[in-house]
Amino acid sequence: MWIKKTKLLSFWTVILLVSLVGGVASAVSAIPETTNIVADIVEKVSPAVVNIDTLKMATYRSPLAPFFSDPFFRRFFEGIVPEERQVPIKGLGTGFVFRSDGYILTNEHVVSGADEIKVTFLDGREFEGKVIGSDTLTDIAVVKIEAQGLPTISLGDSDAARVGEWIIAIGNPYGLSHTVTVGVLSAKGRPIAAGDSGQEYENFLQTDAAINPGNSGGPLLNLEGEAIGINTAILPYAQGIGFAIPINMAKSILDQLITEGRVIRAWLGVVIQNLTPEMAEKFGLKEAEGALVADISPDSPAEKAGIKRGDVILKVDGIETPDIKTLQQTIRSHRPGDVVDVEIWRDGKVITLKVTLAELEESISALPVTEKIDLGLEVGEITPDLVDRYALREKSGVVIVGIKAGGPADDAGLRPGDVILEVNREEIKNLKDWEAAISEIEPGETVLLLISRAGQTYFVPLKAEEPQS
């Protein structure tokens, strides 16, 4: 009986294996012989993808430079140790041609400050590039080369892209030219901080296609071979998480970048925050929709029109603004000088105010490291641009707008967007106060800063160094 059962089990096992093999065989036979869709797309678009090599010249000051002020040491070191010398700093990135007459899209941070730009195509052709337009708020730049009849990549529709669809990234990671990676569109609408500046960018596309340093500026493609994004950032502590700027964001500013060299944006002049259900109840609203005005910039369009702290902006020119993101996008869709109807909720009533939008100034009133000491940071006045850029809540103080790698501020964990409120327990209201405070500090002293970050304050000690450059 045991032998019979064993034979019966073996019989059905054979039948199951035959069925599985037959199913796999039929599935394989159903696959077309030519399904190299990714390879076909890569072959088509790669001639329009370029490597971008940059060169910046930085001044290096010898650590022995302080001795050059003494005539004895100057005679000793002269001709042996240069007091200063120019040091080339190389960078690499990616770009892609979107117009056949030599217009290339890339990241602003790839070409920012470059003294020389070399553009190299897949076939080995090299051109000198020139930045004709850039925008730090979106991290987008347009580079022009003198050429005609170039291969191009079509700009797709990032709004129509669906989470989960297959995508392709092509770039120059670590100098490995025209590297291809494949993944899916993991998410849309991600706000992240990218680059050395700490700048927060909105509405990023997220992908699990491998993106590494050098991929920045390259195309993120759909299976139609269209660019739906510009690869730009990674999270260094994660795997399979990369980000790209939606191509629709680039398309909306391309004309201005080409004709004006910059993006001219409208400015309302309010500091806003999203409503929570609890806050909405306190303001007498049934739903937590609208942008709550937390503060107003002095002499701004909002102040001139009569908008007040505590108002809730519901609509702009009939377009509902249920949150901060929508309000910002709506205002940025207008031009300076446009008159818009702003519908607000105030004291249980809906009122409409006419607002004449002004231009958002991009300039930063930055104060470089002083000659007397080096804290490894640059600061600026609190301007409307910086309020918008870093979502600042403070009205007074100075904003950190730059951090020197390896300097005291960098070692202490400070970053752009931090606001300095005090120096050695003395209040800092503006750049004048800052300059006066640090002028009294000598190299080697410890400076105690009161920092405000995201609404929280804490003290940070920094060791003042001798300036090296």
pLDDT of residue 1: 44
Residue 295 within any structural domain of the chain: yes
pLDDT tens digits, one per residue of 104-126 = 999 998 998 888 999 999 999 99
Do 373 and 456 fall into the same domain?
yes
Which of 112, 134, 197, 216 is catalytic? The answer is 216
Do 95 and 177 fall into the same domain?
no
Q: Is 178 a catalytic residue?
A: no
Confidence of residue 65 (pLDDT cuts 50, 70, 90): low
Q: Could you give the CA distance from residue 170 to residue 162 in angstroms, rounded to a whole number?
A: 20
Phi, psi (5° rounding) for residue 300?
-90, 165
* Residue with token string 């390259």: 218
Do 246 and 190 fall into the same domain?
yes
Which of 46, 53, 109, 297 is catalytic? The answer is 109
Do 237 and 177 fall into the same domain?
yes
Q: Which of 336, 359, 382 is the last residue of a domain?
A: 359
pLDDT tens digits, one per residue of 69-105 = 556 555 555 655 565 566 677 888 999 999 999 999 9
pLDDT of residue 25: 43
Using a pLDDT cut of 90, give the percent of the chain over it.
42
Least confident of 96-110, 188-202, 296-310, 322-336: 188-202
pLDDT tens digits, one per residue of 170-185 = 999 888 889 999 999 9
- Domain of 410? 366-463
Residue 35 within any structural domain of the chain: no
Do 447 and 380 fall into the same domain?
yes
Do 434 and 398 fall into the same domain?
yes
pLDDT tens digits, one per residue of 241-276 = 889 999 999 998 999 999 999 888 888 988 788 888
* Segment 180-204 mean pLDDT: 72
pLDDT of residue 357: 94
Residue 440 within any structural domain of the chain: yes
- For all residues of the chain together, what is the average pLDDT? 82
pLDDT tens digits, one per residue of 29-49 = 444 455 689 999 999 999 999
CATH number at residue 374: 2.30.42.10
Q: Which of 224, 259, 294 is the last residue of a domain?
A: 259
pLDDT of residue 9: 47
Residue 11 within any structural domain of the chain: no
CATH number at residue 189: 2.40.10.10
Q: Could you give the CA distance from residue 284 to residue 296 in angstroms, rounded to a whole number?
A: 22
* Segment 193-221 mean pLDDT: 76
Which of 135, 139, 385, 388 is catalytic? The answer is 139
Exposed, middle or buried by CB within 10 Å (0-12, 13-18, 19+), for 372? Answer: middle
Q: Which of 359, 394, 411 is the last residue of a domain?
A: 359
Predicted confidence (pLDDT) at residue 370 exceeds the cutoff of 60: no
pLDDT of residue 3: 44
Predicted confidence (pLDDT) at residue 310 exceeds the cutoff of 90: no
Least confident of 138-147, 181-190, 236-245: 236-245
Nearest to 403 by CA among 446, 460, 351: 460
Q: Could you give the CA distance from residue 249 to residue 385 in angstroms, rounded to a whole number?
A: 19
Q: Could you give the CA distance from residue 356 to residue 271 in angstroms, rounded to a whole number?
A: 17
Confidence of residue 61 (pLDDT cuts 50, 70, 90): low
pLDDT of residue 258: 95
Does this model's pTM top 0.85?
A: no
Residue 7 within any structural domain of the chain: no
Give SS3 for 120.
strand
Using a pLDDT cut of 70, give the percent of the chain over it.
80
Do 57 and 89 fall into the same domain?
yes
* Segment 182-209 mean pLDDT: 74
Do 139 and 173 fall into the same domain?
no
pLDDT of residue 363: 43
Confidence of residue 282 (pLDDT cuts 50, 70, 90): confident
pLDDT tens digits, one per residue of 7-20 = 444 544 444 444 44
Number of domain units in the chain: 4
Do 208 and 225 fall into the same domain?
yes
Q: Is 109 a catalytic residue?
A: yes
Do 129 and 217 fall into the same domain?
no
* Residue with token string 């160094």: 465
Residue 137 within any structural domain of the chain: yes
pLDDT of residue 362: 54
* Segment 357-367 mean pLDDT: 62
* Segment 159-180 mean pLDDT: 93
Residue 314 within any structural domain of the chain: yes
Do 341 and 404 fall into the same domain?
no
Residue 150 within any structural domain of the chain: no
